[in-house]
Amino acid sequence: MTSTSSLEALESTLQARLDKLAAEHGVVGAVVAVQHGDTTVSAATGVTNVRTGVPVTTDTIFQIGSISKVYTATLVLQLVDEGLIDLDQPIASYLPEFALADASAASTISIRQLLCHTSGMDGDVFDDFGRGDDCVEKYVAGMSTLAQTSPPGEFFSYCNSGYVLLGRLVEHFRGLSWDAALHKHLLAPLGAVDTVTLPEEAILRPAAVGHLPTGEDGAAQVAPVYFMTRAVGPAGVVTAPAAELIAFARMHLNDGAAPDGTEILSPAAVKAMQELQVRLPDPYTLGDGWGLGWIKYTLGNPPVIGHDGATVGQQAYLRIVPDRDIVITLLTNGGGMGGLCEALVRPLLRELAGAELNPAAEPKSGVDVDVTHFLGTFERTGVRTTIRQDEDGKIWVETKGTGPLAASLPDEPPHELVPLDESTLITAEADRRIGRHVTLKFLEPSAEGFRYVHSGGRATPRVSG
């Protein structure tokens, strides 16, 4: 069990530890915060912007990306608490205007499936629907041509579109924009005055900007855009300081109560969000399973929940050990951000909570499989993935962005793959950005080859052999 004294001991070493590891991994700027009970230890390093050289402090706000989804899930579970919705009802029963290219799927996809990413909808739509309060409504209207990558409920596939749809559900019942509903029903009761969702709010605070490896020899440069489009807010635009992200996590550890005792979420809803809903096809990329918004990183003893988030040049990490009352968050804005998380957060979980995350996958020697079943082109909205074999027998993956964010991100070079087992390939080299080797899990074998490649949490269907 973690003691307050162990955190007090960490206070004398955390700054030096963060400085050293951030330098080793070329991270532009970072904040780490650890909380146990009423004790918090935090440290900051680097700069908010390589152009200005403004130093990062523990009060700097960072984009937390997809950790925003847990905020949206919390708003949805508030609707359950109030008896306004049933998680197992089709979302179309509450939003009759909702439509997809597959009318049958649209009529059956449940709120629960959206929360745990089993809807089968094509997930990475980042189109711009303007800056108005109706942008989420317009996004959902635009989903009428959105295809299914798999039937509803078939398996897990990470889906940003599904969380925008959940944001629209919140708007429908609250009579407010998602941003306004978030502030009224969650941020204000939490006292989170520096957690924001709009760039004009962020600019009034000490804000970090994202950086990409687009300079000479991969040097970090300021990203060409600061914020993603407002319409994807429910899926990923919350911007917050570490202390307020910790406060959000602690509300979930305190049976849904705010610091002043106000009930933001019922204890039953808090418990439901942490319960396992679906096992993941690939335990190496995200974790063992998914709850209602939360990632179940490990189902071991003690279990670890949380979420990660990535925007254009920023990455955020949140890990919670409920049985030990421990919360750790790491906010970063460029460089080897994933490598820093692996080198800092994983050991902290072990030292402070006795929690072991799943080991990272490593290439194996002597794995002999028929690689022809892997080869081909796989495509979904926003990305095309090609697995090919060269004349020397080496396997390569080429990933091409095709959506609105593609112009803001550097081209992805080909990566060599090697077999890990009969249905999994792994990159021969570790990816510096995420701090580990990337795995590609292949699903549903057929005569033409595997029907899906599952990578980065997403299932992408085969389009050609």
Taking each helix axis as running N to C, give the angle between helix 68-81 and helix 267-274, from 0 to 180 degrees, rounded to the nearest 10. 130
**Angle at 247 (CA atoms; ends 243, 253), nearest 5 degrees:** 140
Q: Half-sphere exposure of residue 166, counting CA atoms within 13 Å on the CB side?
A: 37
Determine, yes or no, domain membership for 271.
no
Determine, yes or no, domain membership for 427.
yes
Determine, yes or no, domain membership for 460.
yes
Q: Which amino acid is located at 258 in the chain?
A: A
The number of domains in the chain is 1
Omega of the bond leading into 151 within 30 degrees of 0 (cis): no
Provide the pLDDT for residue 233: 98
Low-confidence ranges of the chain (pLDDT < 50): 1
Question: Tokens in use for 255?
Answer: 């049976």
d(CA 396, CA 400) in angstroms, rounded, equals 13
Determine, yes or no, domain membership for 402.
yes
Determine, yes or no, domain membership for 264.
no
Buried b (16+ CB within 10 A) or exposed e, 155-174: bbbbbbbbbbbbbbbbbbbb
Provide the pLDDT for residue 410: 72
Provide the pLDDT for residue 8: 78
Say if CB 264 and CB 54 are below 8 A apart: no
C-alpha R_g of the chain: 21
Residue of 6, 12, 42, 66 marked active site: 66
The whole-chain average pLDDT of the chain stands at: 94
| CATH number of the CATH domain containing 383 | 2.40.128.50
Provide the pLDDT for residue 259: 93
pLDDT per residue over 446-461, tens digit each? Answer: 988 999 999 989 999 9
Provide the pLDDT for residue 285: 87
Provide the pLDDT for residue 382: 83
Residue 179's nearest CA partner among 199, 205, 206, 207 is: 199
Provide the pLDDT for residue 406: 65
Identify the sign of the CA torsion 117, 461, 234, 65: positive
Q: How many angstroms from the chain centroid is the CA of residue 460?
A: 18
DSSP 97-152: T---SSHHHHHH-BHHHHHTT-S-B---------SSTTHHHHHHHGGGGPPBSS-T
Provide the pLDDT for residue 402: 83
A 10 A CB-CB count for 418 gives 16
d(CA 46, CA 347) in angstroms, rounded, equals 21
Buried b (16+ CB within 10 A) or exposed e, 205-244: bebbbbbbbeeeeeebbbbebbbbbbbbbbbbbbbbbbbb
Say if CB 123 and CB 257 are below 8 A apart: no
Determine, yes or no, domain membership for 407.
yes
66 is catalytic: yes
Range of the domain at 440: 371-464
DSSP code of residue 408: G
169 φ, ψ to 5°? -60, -45
d(CA 44, CA 56) in angstroms, rounded, equals 6
Determine, yes or no, domain membership for 179.
no
Determine, yes or no, domain membership for 429.
yes
